[in-house]
Structure 1
Amino acid sequence: MSQNSPKIYDAVILGASGFTGKYVVREALKFLNAPNSPLKSLALAGRSPARLAEALKWAAGGDSPPNIPLLTADTTDPNSLSRIAAQAKIILNCVGPFRLYGQPVVSACVDAGCDYLDISGEPEFMERMEALYHEEAVEKGALVVSACGFDSVPAEIGLLFHSRQWAGPAAPNRVEACLSLESDKKVVLNFGTYESAVLGVANADKLVELRRSRPKRARPTIPGPTHAKGSLIEHQKQLGLWALKLPSADSVVVRRTLATLTENPHGLPGANETANDLKKREAFWSSVKPAHFGVKLGSKSLFGLFPYIMLGIFIGLLCRVALGRWLLLKFPSFFSLGGFKKEGPSKEEVESATFKMWFVGHGFSDASLASKGNKKPDTEVITRVAGPEVGYLATPIILIQCALVVLSNRGSLPRGGVFTPGIVFGPTDLQERLQENGISFDFISKNSISA
């Protein structure tokens, strides 16, 4: 099938029978052939048609499953990936860890001119795909966007929402996102996230090497001081939370978005954008004000942070040697004090969990104040993004809404290239779509603070 042949499927979900994949299928079925939905044809892909059939049956709930094609594809078989990329407008990749299995899928999509979204939260994978495939993706017209799940859309779209609350001459200097995971039961997180973290720390030197080998990116001009490191743990009284500083993929993705925006102050032109699209895009980006950005994990009690501190210590000590990595990946529940389990959370644990991501911004009531000596910020703005459980509910909602934006508005998006979600989806209606599907964006407060 040539690159210009008509595509058979609007979307193909790859890895549809995995822990997260089956939840993505469940979310996609809500929009398949629904009124005003651009999703008219869907296929599921994976190594085992029998497991795909089981996942489809599970996703359909009590209903008899719809007649959806089940395609055999394996990340170790490039020909199988080329076949599905040739047939799809967009592939939604749920097969991680992406550092191990993601590159062949990106390669097949770029070669076929097929759009690609994934739920990776792995900085080295994302930056390596940009280094290897960006230019070819531009040429072939393939839009490649990683981190279209809980990592990193709430942080990206949440920060863009937050920055637009600094109206007029006001400007932020620093925004800290504080993530609070809440549940009536025990919070149990996605094992894939744990596995990616272990492999990421184990290969941290490769990320450093990759960045050194690439040209320096532009940095945005941010009024006021560059931020001091601050303490590892602090009490954020205004939120009623204890906060632990995190090495987060969200921070890396946000920095890449702000770098792209600095290089393209009006955002990225759409492949076939209308005059109205152009006007909307330029107006959106002119309202966004960059800021230094960091992520913290919040807990109502200091003791609640203890499991995460211990996990960080274990990963730091053990993941540099093969035996240590084996132990970490073999016994995740032991090292995370029950926070991560190989079999994932139960249905009840998923349904009872929620998240709140608080954005606490410090900046200036008038940006010109920042240039007058080393003046401290005098204004605080707080916003919040909130929604359901992060790994199996929020991530599928986000991924499917990103896909629907691509299918609905392809002409107003870049023709091709490897990008972050913020720079691609910022000016679209993604925030409104998320709000309609259970992820809220709220302005909380704006106050003067003593300088």
Structure 2
Amino acid sequence: MANEETKKFDLVILGASGFTGKYVLREALKYLSPSLAIAIAGRNPTKLAAALEWAASPTPPPAIPVILADVSDHSSLLDVAAQTKLLLSCVGPFRLHGAAVVAACVESGADYLDISGEPEFMERMEAEYHEKAVKTGSLVVSACGFDSVPAELGVLFNSRKWEGVGVVNRMEAYLSLESERKIVGNFGTYESAVLGVANVEQLQELRRSRPRRPRPKIPGPPPPKGPLVEHQKTIGLWAVKLPSADSVVVRRTLATLTEHPHGLPGVEESDEYVEKRKNFWSSVKPAHFGVKIGSKSLLGIVRFIFTGLFIGLLGKFAFGRSLLLKFPEIFSLGWFRKTGPTEEEVSSATFKMWFVGHGYMDESTASQSGKKPDTEIITRVSGPEIGYLTTPIVLIQCALIVLHQRSNLPKGGVYTPGIVFGPTDLQQRLQENGISFDVISMKTGTN
């Protein structure tokens, strides 16, 4: 691990003047104190100063250092990474701008968190930098925002409810976005989805080039394919499959748990933390997992489907991508716009993510051919608007854990949020900051 005595800052936010970055900065300022040295970094000092003024409003902006850094200038990124214990990256799309930042942090031994929801970027960083990060002591964790901490912790929360009840076979997450006003998504998320379609072959090639990871043993048969559009009567939603990063990240976490059933190697922990991580590892019950986006009306699902079709078809071609990115409001049927949501639209939005677990009262039943699941446990994670409120809350709480509990985390390496933060008090911290974890129902004998 790098010598932290030479680090000038505890935390640097890279891209603090961006749409999401300024909300991350606003959340970070809540924890600003003489014992926490924060700086912001980016290309344009004028925009960074304006973002700081906005984030601090209505009070005068604090005297936070501004560091000039450009993702196209490796030396400037090395300079930033060398000065900080932890770098938070809000510079997306990460497929275009993320790798250079990760490389600088790994080279300098700085820890790194980001809010990426791009599977190819995350898996490529693991493939290219994990071994070096282990050597330099750089802890690299992507998806520390709405993609994918609520999904990871939601799966772990539901999984633990099966203790003493039975064995889980499959779990579906249903995401419902709600607002008293119009729901407007993060343009960066939309842009990442468009570029993800354009680069799907690179992701498949990357996966083929890597060794196959062990699959967890899941009791019972594989889940049925199911209809394209589902009416989930229990939670009152129409739903369709959502090709998000959440299911990919959860599967990576389960694969790591399968590879290391007794904990990660090389983690020096206190006796208390050893027990926490041991309990965490043993309590996670692997299950088939998928994510769907839901709506109370069938019309809402139709809008999701058409947006997906536009991105899926046009995103394969350069001209189609230029149209998608030039006219997001048209091709997303109003879900996304370049200017992003207004402050009123952000403050009025909320999310609910339901986790419906299906399984068996005992493992012997699961092993019987043709037996359908007979037990159902439904849990829910809910909170404020996902892109500009929940994501900053999650990222900053993850950052505080890295800063204050560093000796109990992996020395270095590229990991998923579930592996690094699952055994910590992250869930409790989120609950104290407006993100709820609730048990909705537990039923047996449902078949």
TM-score, L = length of structure 2: 0.98
* 2:311 is the counterpart of 1:315: yes
- Is 1:142 aligned with 2:145? no
Kindly indicate whether the alpha-carbon contact (under 8 Å) linking 1:360 and 1:380 is maintained by their aligned counterparts in 2. Answer: yes
The AA in structure 2 aligned to 1:408 is: H
Aligned mate of 1:435, from 399, 415, 431: 431
Identify the residue that residue 16 of structure 2 maps to in structure 1. 16
Gaps of at least 5 residues in structure 1 are none
1:334 and 2:330 correspond: yes
**Cα-to-partner distance string for 1:126-177 (whole Å, 9 max, x where unaligned):** 0000000000000000000000000000000110011000022611100000
In structure 2, the CA distance between the partners of 1:436 and 1:450, relative to structure 1 (3 Å rule), is closer
User: Could you tell me which amino acid in structure 2 is paired with residue 295 of structure 1?
Assistant: V
Match of 1:221 in 2: 217
More off after superposition, 3-12 vs 280-289:
3-12
> Would you say the 8 A contact 1:269–1:413 is kept in 2?
no
Match 1:56 to one of 52, 55, 59: 52
Alpha-carbon shift at residue 11 of structure 1 (Å): 0.5
Q: Which amino acid aligns with 1:345?
A: P
Aligned residue number for residue 125 of structure 1: 121
In structure 1, what is the equivalent of residue 227 of structure 2? 231
| Alpha-carbon distance in structure 2 between the residues aligned to 1:365 and 1:408 | 40
Letter in 2 for 1:13: I
Contact 1:269 1:412 in 2 (8 A): no
The answer as to whether partners of 1:169 and 1:367 remain within 8 angstroms in 2 is: no
1:26 counterpart residue number? 26
1:6 aligned onto 2:2: no
One of 264, 278, 283 as aligned partner of 1:282:
278
Which residue of 227, 238, 245 maps to 1:249? 245
Contact 2:167 2:285 in 1 (8 A): yes
Amino acid at match of 2:12: V
Unpaired segments ≥5 residues, structure 2: none
**C-alpha separation in 1, matches of 2:426 and 2:435:** 11
Question: Which SS does the other structure have where 2:336 is aligned?
Answer: coil
Does residue 1:386 correspond to 2:349, yes or no?
no
Select between 24-33 and 271-280 the one with higher mean Cα deviation: 271-280
Query: 2:376·2:446 contact (CA, 8 Å) conserved in 1?
Result: no
Q: Which residue is 2:256 aligned to?
A: 260
* Matching of residues 38-49 of structure 1 within 5 Å: 40-49=36-45
Aligned twin of 2:422: 426
1:178 and 1:356 map into 2 onto residues whose CA distance is 8
CA distance in 2, matches of 1:343, 1:238: 37
Which residue type is aligned with residue 7 of structure 1?
K
SS at match of 2:20: helix
Correspondence for 1:96: 92
Amino acid at match of 2:15: G
Equivalent residue runs for 1:162-181 within 5 Å: 162-168=158-164, 170-181=166-177
2: CA distance, partners of 1:232 / 1:408: 45
Q: TM (normalized to structure 1)?
A: 0.97
Report deviation, 1:266: 2.5
State how far apart, in whole Å, the 2-side matches of 1:222 and 1:358 are.
21
Q: CA RMSD in A?
A: 1.2
- Distance in 2, matches of 1:25 and 1:4, equals 23
2:355 to 345, 352, 359: 359
Distance in 2 (CA, whole Å) between partners of 1:426 and 1:165 is 15
Deviations 1:417-440 (A, max 9, x none): 000000110000000000000100
Which whole-Å CA distance do the structure 2 matches of 1:109 and 1:379 have between them?
46
Q: Determine if contact 2:119/2:248 at 8 Å carries over to the other structure.
A: yes
Whether the aligned pair in 2 keeps the contact of 1:96 and 1:120 (CA below 8 Å) is yes
Q: How does 1:66-77 map to 2 (within 5 A)?
A: 66-77=62-73
**Segment drifting more, 299-308 vs 184-193:** 299-308
Q: Which of structure 1's runs of 4+ aligned residues deviate more than 6 A?
A: none
- Number of paired residues? 446
- Of 190, 195, 205, which aligns to 2:191? 195
* Distance in 2 (alpha carbons) for counterparts of 1:33 and 1:266: 38
Q: Deviations over 1:264-301 (max 9, x none)?
A: 11332574311221111101221111111000001001
Corresponding letter in the other structure for 1:119: I
- Aligned to 2:7, the other structure's residue is in SS state coil
Per-residue CA shift, 1:392-428, capped at 9, x if unaligned? 0000000000000111110110000000000110000
